[in-house]
Amino acid sequence: MTRLWLIRHGPTHARRMVGWTDLPADLSDTPAIERLSAALPHAPVVSSDLIRATATADAIQGTRPRLPHSPALREFHYGEWENQAFDAIDSPDLRAYFDDPGARRAPGGESWDDVAARVHGAVGSMAGGTDLIVVAHMGVILTLWARARGIPPYDALAQRIDNLSLTRIDWSDGRLSAVDANRCP
């Protein structure tokens, strides 16, 4: 069994659809970062290759071993909605994307199902030790949470995942079980 220690990157303060847009994280809350790092085991750290995740991984790494950044751990790709203000793209299509997640894709982007398959495959290829620290994005964590809880994507979207929060999921032979979500040490 692998214990997954899932961390959402530091805040970007963006008020728009930020998926693959490479914005930096605000990591000025050093006490929160220190508490988060102290709550983690000494285990390998892997992150998405987007700078907000890599910088957060750097901040909590300490003496932990580091695995190469993984593009498969990126946030949802929102296609034409990427980096757009919400009021500029508000539409029935956007609302349907979040009201009925699953196979529905963002225009030129990804669906929930696309991201869930990408993330599950990536984490499955890395699981195998006792612990793995994964610094990623809200969507990545929620796809794993949905699978671990056995709930549909729409229900998973109700789970809060704050910046610099810790979510624990256990991985055993491709099966996931939820332990704890959105803990802010």
At 122 the pLDDT is 97
Report in angstroms the alpha-carbon separations of 75 from 8, 33, 93, 135.
Answer: 11, 21, 20, 11
Which whole number is the average pLDDT over 79-105? 96
Indicate the pTM of the whole model: 0.97
pLDDT at residue 174, as a whole number: 86
Angle at which helices 51-61 and 30-39 pack, to 10 degrees? 70
The DSSP element (H or E) to which 168 belongs, if any, is strand 166-172
Helix axes 112-126, 138-149, angle to 10 degrees: 80
20-67 confidence digits (pLDDT tens) = 999 999 999 999 999 999 999 999 999 999 999 999 999 999 999 999
Mean pLDDT within 66-77? 98
Ordered structural domains, the chain, with CATH: 2-183 (3.40.50.1240)
**Helix, strand, coil: what percent of the chain each, to 5?**
40, 20, 40
- The whole-angstrom separation of Cα 26 and Cα 39 is 20
pLDDT of residue 150: 97
pLDDT for res 129: 84
Beta strands in 52-137 (DSSP E): 131-136
pLDDT tens across 2-19, in order?
A: 999 999 999 999 999 999
Give residue-wise pLDDT tens across range 125-175: 999 889 999 999 999 999 999 999 999 999 999 999 999 999 999 999 889
Reference 109, options 145, 70, 82; nearest CA is 82
